Structures are given as structure tokens and as C-alpha cells.
Structure 1
Amino acid sequence: MTETLEIETPAPGVVLIRLNRPKQLNAINEVMRDELALLLASLARDTSVHAVVITGAGRGFCSGIDIRDFGPGMLDAQAPAIDRMRFQEAMAGLVRAVADLPQPVIAAVNGACVGAGLALSLAADIRICSTAATFGNAAILLGLSGAEMGMSYHLPRIVGAGVAADWMLTGRTVSAEEADRRGLVSQLVEPEKLVERSVDVARGVAELAPFGVQLTKRALQVNIAAAGLGPALELENRNQVLSHATDDAAARRSSRS
């Protein structure tokens, strides 16, 4: 049991994580940060889990960090720089934990997806969003850098450098329609169908060979920054050789013959 998260298993091999501070639009406080970090670390070790869905309770996906009531760990601008760096690293660690999960992650974006929430969604492998969703980079509106929690790494790779610069430098609110048009999300669905559709996608992934799926996720992550076609092919070739020799692959080939 957790205070700020709801955890379900809606299909075999699928875990659904629901950020659960709806009155705060699921803003991340100290408890949620720590509970989510522990949960992601646990899922990374759980070989029975083959796909993960992250969504939010109520009207929001995640409205960023809870600057009004984060908890005793919140630091002010007068705190030593090293302490503020550790705080920032702990927040950024959530993004790394999502990206580093061996299982594919689907962000089911149901509403406001801002700041740290946007960063979490960008770290997911697939983003499916409700027509009611909105996206925004809030830090720059607070006098901070708009580049935080992996945003300057992930966003240009997803929507392109020019669009990323527009969104990150202005901090403007991006509609679900624009997010879909710019390629931020892979599907746009009605609010009442969002979780069902996201779980359906996760179920389909979970029914595939886990080793092949996880090798595919890693290849996508590595080869997006590959120096050229040659290094990308080298990794792909090794992945195919490794996955070809598994019992799972042999059984699936046999069932199709």
C-alpha cells in the first residue's frame, strides 16, 4: 500500500500506476517522489511484469512538483548549492528510472501534464493522450531554466529541435491536438477510453516475447543517438542473434509454421 500511488494489474504482465493526488492534479510531493522511485526500482527487478502504464487520478496527469506543499525536503534558494543539486538529482532520478525500466512504459496522459509531469511522459516509450490533455513546461514561467529532468534531451528527439524550442522557451500550453499533430503522442482518444486503450496496447506488448521487446526498447534508445547507420546495424545484428536463439522465439516460430 502506498499513500500517493494506486497500483493495479489490469491484464497479465501489465502494471498500471495511477498517480493519486487528484486534488493537487497529482503534483509530486516528497512522499510521491520517494514512493514512485521505490516502485520503479521494484518493477525493474520483476520479471513477471512485461509492460507498465502510468496515468493520473482525476483531472490531471501530473501538474509538476508541488511547490506549495512538497514536504520537509523542499529547499529554498539560500540552501547550500550542493543540497539543492542533490534535490534536483533526486527529481531527475524519476525520469532516469522510467527510461531505464527494461519493460516498455506507456504514459496515458489524461489531463494537465506540466513540468515534472511532462518530463515523466517524455521518458515513456509510448504516449497516448486524452482529448482533454494539455502539456506545458512550467519552469521557465517561474524564472527557472526550461531545460530540466531530461526535457532538453527527450523533447527535441520526439518533436524536433524547432518545436521543442518553441515549447520550452515560451512555456505556453500545448493542446492535445497540437501534441498529436507534432508527434508527441501516438494516439489521441476520448477521455473515457484512455485507460482502456492504453491497457490494450500494454496487453499486446506483454503478450510478445519479453526478451525481444526489451532488446527493441534498448535499441530504440541507443540508436536514436547512433553515430551512423553502421553502429546502429551492429547493435541490431547482435540483438537478432541473441533473441533468435531463445526458446521463446523458437516456440513462436514453430506456432506460425
Structure 2
Amino acid sequence: MTSTTLEFETIAIDRPVDGVVVATLNRPERMNAQNNTMFRELETLARTLKLEDDLRVLILTGAGRAFCAGFDLEDAETLTALSPLGMLDQQELAARGLLAIRTLRVPVIAAVNGAAAGGGFSLSLAADIRIASTAAKFNAAFVKIGLTAGDLGCSWLLPRLINPALANEICYTGRIVGPEEADRIGLVNKVVEPDQLLPEALAMAELIKANSPGGVQLSKRALQANMEVSSYAAALELENRGQALLTRGKDMPEALAAFKEKRAPKFTGE
């Protein structure tokens, strides 16, 4: 399937170069706070992009001065009125949106331009790579409003990205993590000036695009799946299957031929 026209209420879509989609959370008047429309549109975005054969990278960022301020507190007042099963439905709706982004078959780069709080923090964690502006700041704000940091994947992803004890501290205190600390503790891949954020994300996307599409996609699948398997042997089994599949395609022979001929390979993903 080729590129499609995507129009949403809460997300602006741009295609600056072939194979790269920039999805901008677009509620700047609410610091791009999440509502049910946004959760549904994140899921729809990921499901639609998953069908685009020429997609190589998704970049996720925010409009205005925030990346995403988490669940919109104007809507949060209705949560306490929901029944237990009604609240479970609400949680599952939100979780589906973030899960769809995390499991997109191509790499996702979060270009964090400002505050990433609560569910917005979880959304940034769901990306494969995080590049932060010097204006970025992160916090697991859940405990500040009487909720648990076990929300939208935060309690699973954060201890796997940074020191578990430090993850505990960040979640229990709800304190803000600034860009320098985020870089130091490995929460983000790099920090750049605000005007360099999208150019840096696009440069990273170009580095990814230069490689075999199948190789990148199966690398992502292996890296994510092997965070969850219980043994080294299970990890090897998954890796073996990926390599066996990729040697049946056209990109590996092309890479070998290009190496011998001292030229850049021309990957097709076939």
C-alpha cells in the first residue's frame, strides 16, 4: 500500500521526505494534553501507517511549547464517576493508542520539544528513540493527582531504560527530570537546541532509511520481543528466525554485491 492522506482532529501529519512521517500532537492550547479523541487517533494513525509499504520512520513531536502534558485534567474529573468496568474500558482505550505506536513495524522517534508529563511521559517512553530539546522536561506526574505510575506502560518501560532504583525515585516523587539529567541517565539519546530538534530527528531518520528496511524492521521486532522473553535460548531462537527470513529476500544479496563492488547498496525491502 502506498502513502495515504491522513487527517485528524488532534494530530497534524507531515511527510517532509520520502518514507518519513512527522506526526505532531496538535492541541497546543491544552499543551497537547491527551483526550479520548487523541488516543483513538494514535491507534488509527499506527494501524494506517502499518499498511504503507514505503514507510521507514515515524517522528512524533508536539505543537507549541509542550510535547504532551498527559491526560487532560478537564476530562479527568469525569473518571471518578465511572464504574470499575467503565474505568477499565477507559484505560484500555488509552492503552491501545500507545501500544499501537510502540508496536508500529518501523522505528518511532520521539522529538520531545517540551514537557512530557504523565501519559505524555509514557508516550515518549513508547518510542524507540528519544531526542530532547533543551526545553524538554519529563515527569511521571501520576502520584501528584492520586494515581499510580503503573499507567500506560510507564512502570514496565522506565525501569528497563534507566536504573530501576532511579525509576522508583522518579515515579514515587513525581519530580521533574530536566534535559541534562535525562541525557545523563540514558532516558534520551541526545539533547539539542530547540531549533535543531526536528532537523536532528530527520537526520536520524535518514541514517535509519539508509539500511535494509527488512533488517531494520526485524531488528525492532527482536529488540522489543527480547525485552520480554525469559531466557537467552528464547532470544536466540527469535534471532535465528529473523536471520533465516532475511536471507531469503533481495536486500542481503544486494548488500553483499555492493560491498564487493565498493558502492552504496540499493535496498528495496523485498
Residue 43 of structure 2 corresponds to 37
Residue 106 of structure 1 corresponds to 109
Residue 22 of structure 1 corresponds to 28
Residue 197 of structure 1 corresponds to 200
Residue 267 of structure 2 corresponds to none
Aligned residues: 254
Contact 1:119 1:149 in 2 (8 A): yes
Contact 2:131 2:189 in 1 (8 A): yes
Residue 58 of structure 2 corresponds to 52
Contact 2:133 2:194 in 1 (8 A): yes
Give, in whole Å, the separation in 1 of the partners of 2:180 and 2:89: 37
Is residue 156 from structure 1 mapped to residue 167 from structure 2 by the alignment? no
How far does the alpha carbon of each residue in 1:96-149 deviate from its partner, in whole angstroms, 9 at most, with x for none? 111110011000001000011111111110111111100001111011112100
Residue 13 of structure 1 corresponds to 19
- Structure 2 unaligned runs (5+)? 1-6, 261-270
Q: Which residue, 79, 89, 110 being the options, matches 1:86? A: 89
Greater length-normalized contact order (CA 8 Å, ≥ 6 residues apart): 1
How far does the alpha carbon of each residue in 1:148-193 deviate from its partner, in whole angstroms, 9 at most, with x for none? 0001110000002111101111101110111111101111111110
Paired residue secondary structure (1:77): helix
Q: CA RMSD in A?
A: 1.4
Residue 212 of structure 1 corresponds to 215
Q: Which residue, 238, 241, 264 being the options, matches 1:238? A: 241
Amino acid at match of 1:221: Q
C-alpha displacement of 1:252: 2.0
- Structure 1 unaligned runs (5+)? none
Give, in whole Å, the separation in 2 of the partners of 1:107 and 1:77: 31
Runs of 4+ in 1 over 4 A off after TM superposition: none
Residue 67 of structure 2 corresponds to 61
The alignment's TM-score, normalised by the length of structure 2, stands at 0.90
C-alpha displacement of 1:228: 3.0
How far does the alpha carbon of each residue in 1:182-205 deviate from its partner, in whole angstroms, 9 at most, with x for none? 101111111110011001111221
Amino acid at match of 1:208: N
Residue 177 of structure 2 corresponds to 174
The alignment's TM-score, normalised by the length of structure 1, stands at 0.94
| Greater alpha carbon shift after TM alignment, 12-21 vs 235-244 | 235-244
Q: State, as a whole percentage, how many aligned pairs show the same letter.
A: 42
Give, in whole Å, the separation in 2 of the partners of 1:226 and 1:66: 35
